[in-house]
């Protein structure tokens, strides 16, 4: 696997640090040759994973870190986002598209990740935090999120 | 994100520019809508033309703006949606909740 397409970042749990990851991610996706629309949706999915890790995982505690790993595995882009929180059960997250929840101001982050990536997995990190793994096929990457 | 406010007749227009994302643009949007509501405006258009990115937090702020306006008896509508914002409103099934217009003229006339 080309090493130039791999990176690891550790950021403090502040929302402004999401922009730092986005700069590195955008550069990597461009070098991978991903077209602009697909880059936009991957960028947004990773933004949601980071926001969840900072807000829900690490409770915005700046002394806790969020780790981001990007790699190309076979024909897939794989991005792992790990927090240092207490863990997370995705089955407990209510459906934001349920009619009675549609006008709530929050709860759509997981929906975004699921729509913009090909596969999302949740796991537990060695310290008990959450690892979210986002996968995107590099061949024929979805450009139109509305068709996701 | 930058927010600027202008008036076309009795319609207040908020022009948004940049990212509406967690920790920055979302707060600015909330504050701008709150200020407009506090000023007594009842006809509000949010011009999305120059919005480059909106995340789930930004969508949440748009929903909050809509419900705040509705609860106060005001009307809040969206104009000039970029394609990617339209995609997101479609995914979140909010495209049928908001009144959306393709141009400022159409939006202003919709209040008549």
Q: Is the dihedral of CA B7, B8, B9, B12 positive or negative?
A: negative
Which pLDDT score, from 0 to 100, does residue A140 have? Answer: 64
Residue A1 has pLDDT above 90, yes or no: no
Q: Which residues of B touch A97 (CB under 8 A)?
A: 92-93
3-state SS assignment for residue A148? coil
Q: Report the domain count for chain B.
A: 1
To the question of pTM greater than 0.90 for the whole model, the response is: yes
- For A41, the enclosing helix (H) or strand (E) is helix A36-52
Q: Residues A43-59: pLDDT tens digits?
A: 999 999 999 999 999 99
CATH of the domain at B81: 3.30.750.24
Question: What is the interface pTM, i.e. ipTM, of the complex?
Answer: 0.92
B111 located within any domain: no
pLDDT tens across the length of chain B (112 residues): 999 999 999 999 999 999 999 988 889 999 999 999 999 999 999 999 999 999 999 999 999 999 999 999 999 999 999 999 999 999 999 999 999 999 999 999 999 9
3-state SS assignment for residue A58? coil
**Domains of chain A with bracketed CATH:** 3-147 (3.30.565.10)
Containing structural domain, residue B17:
2-101
B109 located within any domain: no
Which pLDDT score, from 0 to 100, does residue A82 have? Answer: 98
Cβ neighbours around A144 below 10 Å, total: 12
Residue in B53, B64, B90 nearest the CB of A105: B64
3-state SS assignment for residue A71? strand
- Please tell me if residue B42 touches chain A, with a CB cutoff of 8 Å: no
A65/chain B closest Cα distance in angstroms: 17
Q: In angstroms, rounded to a whole number, what is the distance separating the alpha carbons of residues A132 and A81? A: 5
Helix B56-71 and helix A36-52: axis angle, to 10°? 80
Nearest to B18, CA basis, from B30, B29, B10: B29
B25 located within any domain: yes
Which residue, chain included where needed, has tokens 């796991």?
Answer: A123
B79 located within any domain: yes
B51 located within any domain: yes
Q: Which residues of A touch B64 (CB under 8 A)?
A: 105
- Please tell me if residue B57 touches chain A, with a CB cutoff of 8 Å: yes
Which pLDDT score, from 0 to 100, does residue A145 have? Answer: 55
Q: Residues A58-79: pLDDT tens digits?
A: 999 999 999 999 999 999 999 9
């Amino acid at each position: 696997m080309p090493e130039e397409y791999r990176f690891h970042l550790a950021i403090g749990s502040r929302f402004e640090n999401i922009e730092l990851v986005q700069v590195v991610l955008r550069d990597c996706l461009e070098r991978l040759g991903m077209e602009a629309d697909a880059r936009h949706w991957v960028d947004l999915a990773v933004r949601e994973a980071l926001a969840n890790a900072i807000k829900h995982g690490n409770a915005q505690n700046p002394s806790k870190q969020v780790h981001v790993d990007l790699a190309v595995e076979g024909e897939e882009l794989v991005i792992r986002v790990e927090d240092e929180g207490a863990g997370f059960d995705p089955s407990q997250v209510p459906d934001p598209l349920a009619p009675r929840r549609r006008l709530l101001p929050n709860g759509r982050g997981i929906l975004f990740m699921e729509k913009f990536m090909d596969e999302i997995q949740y796991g537990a990190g060695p310290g008990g935090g959450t690892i979210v793994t986002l996968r995107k096929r590099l061949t024929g990457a979805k450009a139109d999120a509305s068709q996701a | 994100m930058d927010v600027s406010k202008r008036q076309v007749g009795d319609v207040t227009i908020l022009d948004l520019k940049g990212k509406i994302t967690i920790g920055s643009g979302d707060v600015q949007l909330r504050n701008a809508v709150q200020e407009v509501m506090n000023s007594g405006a009842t006809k509000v258009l949010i011009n999305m033309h120059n919005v480059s990115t909106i995340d789930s937090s930004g969508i949440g702020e748009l929903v909050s703006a809509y419900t705040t306006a509705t609860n106060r008896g005001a009307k809040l509508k969206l104009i000039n949606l970029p394609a990617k914002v339209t995609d997101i409103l479609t995914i979140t099934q909010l495209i049928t909740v908001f009144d959306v217009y393709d141009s400022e003229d159409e939006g202003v006339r919709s209040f008549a």
